[in-house]
Amino acid sequence: MKLIYRYLISTLSLATLFSLLSLLGLYAFFDLLSEVPNIGKGYYNFRIALGYVALLTPGHAYELMPLAVLIGGMVAMTQLASSSEYTIIRTSGISLAQIASTLFKFGLIFAVLTVVLGELLAPYTDQQAQRMKLSATHSMVAQEFRSGIWIKDNQNFINVHEMLPDTTLLGIRIYTYDQNFRLTQTRLAERATFSKKNKAWLLQNVQETTLAADHTSVRSMAELPWKSIIEPGILSVLLVVPEQMSALNLLTYIEHLRKNKQQTQRYEIALWSKLFYPLACISMALVALAFTPQQRRHGQLGIRLFAGIFLGVGFHFTNRLFAYLGLLHEWNPVLSATVPTVLFLLIGVSIILRQERR
């Protein structure tokens, strides 16, 4: 029995890895095509473009893993059914529940791999990819408004005109308000660098204006240390979209936004998606079993394979759609992130149970 289980898992895993590599190759091709217009900007050449596309691969692997599990699982199970191996396995005394348990373990293996990609590898490589491209094209990291990046830190409103890939800040404006929301001080700095030793920013070429009740004072300084909870670790999240951040970084940034009474909806949806997305691999593995034909009929094999892959592609886009709808209509973040995964899991389990009754 153990030999059969190992054979099933190895067959499923090889088919899934092949499917994943095929999907990644397709994504890499389109990524490279989209980078062609940027080649020639600064010193961004074809070699750097290839490196940029390569660094995006772990992030794509994370996104495509459930789809690869479904396609690989369905292809492997369809091949087993076509060669009558699946029929032999069933007639040898192995129940559908036992096969479902094997598919569950197979999905669990790739769920763990998805966690590793999503938490450790993809956030780092995506960030490095953006930094490499921005550095090569001499671009700024983020500019959500024409005036640059705006951040709230307690009683300070901070405007950064430009942030370089090494998190050096250019064109910093710090507006300080009192408890009654009256402007009390402004600081304009040409640039700022972060000192890890002192855990503080060093503002350079600073012009500080203090607004008192009856007078205004201005002073200029070559350098000025500035303590703030805004550190490069928080600013660096602007290099990566929330969906590609690690759960730990999302938690840190959500807490920062809450302390400053800012909107957290998008980041909460991304966090819950991170927590539940690996379970989609298990859902897709069970859906693959649900669409495995019980009898060796070639027409039925093709129809079921097509229907299952179509369902997997539907899940891939439905998962994104729910996240956007949740953000647009301010739905509960947990529901926005988990409904597609739970729905597809229930579909797979219900079909398997109906097959078992037969």
- Please state, in angstroms and rounded to a whole number, the distance separating the CA atoms of residues 140 and 332: 34
Give per-residue pLDDT as tens, 169-184: 888 999 998 888 889 9
Quote the mean pLDDT of the chain: 82
Looking at residue 270, its pLDDT comes to 84
Whole-number percent of the chain with pLDDT over 70: 88
Answer with the residue of higher pLDDT: 252 or 217. Answer: 217
Give per-residue pLDDT as tens, 284-339: 888 888 777 665 554 555 676 677 677 777 777 787 787 777 777 778 888 887 88
- Please state, in angstroms and rounded to a whole number, the distance separating the CA atoms of residues 250 and 243: 9
- Please state, in angstroms and rounded to a whole number, the distance separating the CA atoms of residues 125 and 132: 10
Amino acid type, 104: F
CA 182, chain centre distance (Å)? 40
155-228 in CATH: which number?
2.30.30
**DSSP labels, 105-161:** HHHHHHHHHHHHIIIIIHHHHHHHHHHHHHHHHT--S--SBTTBEEEEETTEEEEEE
Give per-residue pLDDT as tens, 251-296: 887 887 777 677 788 888 888 888 888 888 988 888 888 777 665 5
User: Residue 224 above 80 pLDDT?
Assistant: yes
205 and 222 in contact (C-beta within 8 Å)?
yes
Looking at residue 295, its pLDDT comes to 58
The residues, ordered by sequence, that sit 6+ positions from 9 with a Cβ below 8 Å of its Cβ are 102, 105, 106, 109
157 and 173 in contact (C-beta within 8 Å)?
no
Give per-residue pLDDT as tens, 101-117: 899 999 999 999 999 99
Give per-residue pLDDT as tens, 38-55: 888 778 899 999 999 999
User: Residue 32 above 60 pLDDT?
Assistant: yes
Give per-residue pLDDT as tens, 66-97: 989 988 998 888 888 888 888 888 888 888 88
Any idea of the CA torsion for 262, 264, 119, 200, to the nearest 10 degrees?
0
User: Residue 188 above 90 pLDDT?
Assistant: yes
- Please state, in angstroms and rounded to a whole number, the distance separating the CA atoms of residues 79 and 3: 18
The full set of domain ranges for the chain reads 2-138+265-357, 155-228
